Structure 1
Amino acid sequence: MDDDSPTVRWRQRTEVPLGIASMLFLTAYAVHVLGPGLPRDARNVCLIVIAATWAMFLADYLVLWRLSGRGLAFVRTHALDTVVLILPLLRPLRVVRLYDAVQRRRGEPRLPLYSRVMFYAGIAVLLLGFSGALAVYQAEREAPDATIRTFGDSVWWACSTLATVGYGDVTPVTARGRVIAVAMMVCGLALLGAVTGSFSSWLLQVFSREGDDERPPRS
């Protein structure tokens, strides 16, 4: 893709605003879920912020769709943007793009590829774990026979799910909670695979370099 194309220029202009919108969404959602005793006006403000940030993501998605000129093929080739738009659970992951955009604008040297993958995966795990814990806590806390009654229970469940351990001491019992659990499992496997693959590639590169250094020079 041409670096001066309309799509690239649009992404460069919207990366920071959308990253900030992601943080606002996560903050408003956390306050809304963890503060059931808040005054009605405060809760309404949280809902307005959540709706406004979703509208920003929708507008960005529609503009990119229009600029691509690819019709329905855009949905298939921009799966991450589509999923983030549909599933609020994944919206905070745009914060990762914000960090990368700030680094590029400052002209600072970025981490090597392997380090960047592991660093970004770590940020993604934290954001996904927190937002997933909020979503499951909201879905489960008032359900009959629920085992996730407190936010601490939900955080414990999110950690064990993302780590692909799944102790089974606390589990979702509602349909909504189980859908969130499936999404968390898939994301956990993907992130774990990314970190493991990057770490393995880095080790192979290090050992290969050490082998080249130890090899005697040809006469």
Structure 2
Amino acid sequence: MIYIRRRKELDFGYEIFIAAVSILSVLNMVLSYIPGVDLDAINVVFIINAVLTLLFIYDFCFRLATAPSRPSYFFRNYGWADLLAVIPMFRIFRLFRIYKAYRVVHKYGIGYIVTYLSRNRAQSALYILVLMVILIIESGAFLVLQAEHASPSANIITAGDAIWWAYVSITTVGYGDRFPVTAAGRMVGILVLTTGVAVFATFAGLISSKLLAPPEKEDESQVKPLEQPPVEGDQAARYLMELKQLISEREKIETEITSRVEKLEQLLEKGQYQADEGD
């Protein structure tokens, strides 16, 4: 059976991470228009969306730089939608990223994706942890402002205060300059501390293990057989090129075997080859 190696620049973990970030961005857009929400809490959403926009800018540049065919990516694979999605007023185009993630799931199936993620646990865990840190900071800052805004003694007043408090809490630094004073705010603090400390500690441990671990040898078990779901466009062209290379290598091996067989026949004809009688 002929085997081929999958492209590793954009793995499934990364695609799912970008899809989840896109969903969060669209939800933030909806959240910002809900009436009755504290304005400082809405500013938290705007600040987080600014961070997400930086992620989308990086994602578009990365996809464009690594695409085998840039025109094909831009026009056929909704690269133009990725570019428009970078602009805050066109965030609705981030739905195309969700659609592309759906295409990946539909093409390869849940079973294959689960298997892939299990074989690439370190990379998948990194994406999940980054997403969880963003979610905890945003939700913690948003909820604590909602809980604290009516208290006259509150010291978490602005979006900057709330994000600072949430980040300091999950990193276990705990400066103590900002803290909730209401019962509801302290409940939010308990949730942030319980989930955030665990996630951030796991994140720090993962980074440390990656930095200290020896270089990984390529796992032959990750080589996938040719029997994969149908592919389209540039992906099919890449697979065809890889198959041609494998065929070329096979032809070289067959040529070398033929040459050695001919030399062996010549030696036998000249009587210069003596078989080992004991064999």
Which structure's relative contact order is higher, taking Cα pairs within 8 Å and 6+ residues apart?
2
Larger Cα-atom Rg? 2
TM-score of the two chains, using structure 2 as the length reference: 0.39
Q: TM-score, normalised by structure 1?
A: 0.48
